[in-house]
């Protein structure tokens, strides 16, 4: 499963890369530190899944999700944030799932493995 990570903070980016190394189904195909880089990279790499920080510099998250939805094939979009209160807004904007940055990383690994095995998006979770 081809994945792009997007976060402008080096520590979470490093942690996510380390986590993905443990998931054999995951193939990291790029990293972005702002919305413009993410869109450009996604157009070139055509990821299956994009894992993006809600506070990524650049366009508002709703506009970013709309831009990612326009890609063919459309990637699965998981938005990460430490602000759990924003989860409903993010899901209404079209994200496939929301991950709290304080959640157990095992949830994210399980979700990624499910996407990789089934090829089908599950209901978005909060």
Sheet with 97-100: strands ordered across: 27-32, 2-6, 49-53, 76-81, 97-100
pLDDT at 125: 44
Which of these, 1, 41, 26, 8, lies nearest to 105 by C-alpha position? 26
From first to last of its 126 residues, the chain has per-residue pLDDT tens of 999 999 999 999 999 999 999 899 899 999 999 999 999 999 999 999 999 999 999 999 999 999 999 999 999 999 999 888 889 999 999 999 999 988 899 988 988 888 888 765 544 443
Q: Is the pTM of this model over 0.75?
A: yes
The confidence score (pLDDT) of residue 121 equals 53
Q: How far apart are CA 53 and CA 100, in angstroms?
A: 10
Q: What is the pLDDT of residue 39?
A: 98
What pLDDT, on a 0 to 100 scale, did the predictor assign at position 126? 38
Domains of the chain, CATH where assigned: 2-118 (3.40.50.2300)
* Alpha carbon distances (Å) from 79 to 40, 45, 50: 18, 19, 8
């Amino acid at each position: 499963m081809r994945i792009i990570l997007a976060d402008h903070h080096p520590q979470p980016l490093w942690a996510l890369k380390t986590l993905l190394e443990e998931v054999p189904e995951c193939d990291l195909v790029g990293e972005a530190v702002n919305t413009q880089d993410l869109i450009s990279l996604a157009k070139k790499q055509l990821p299956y899944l994009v894992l993006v920080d809600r506070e990524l510099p650049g366009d508002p998250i709703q506009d970013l999700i709309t831009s990612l939805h326009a890609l063919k094939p459309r990637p699965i979009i998981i938005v990460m944030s430490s602000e759990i209160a924003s989860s409903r807004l993010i899901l209404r904007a079209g994200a496939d799932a929301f991950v709290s940055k304080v959640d157990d990383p095992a949830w994210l690994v399980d979700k990624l493995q499910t996407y990789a095995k089934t090829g089908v998006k599950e209901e978005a979770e909060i």
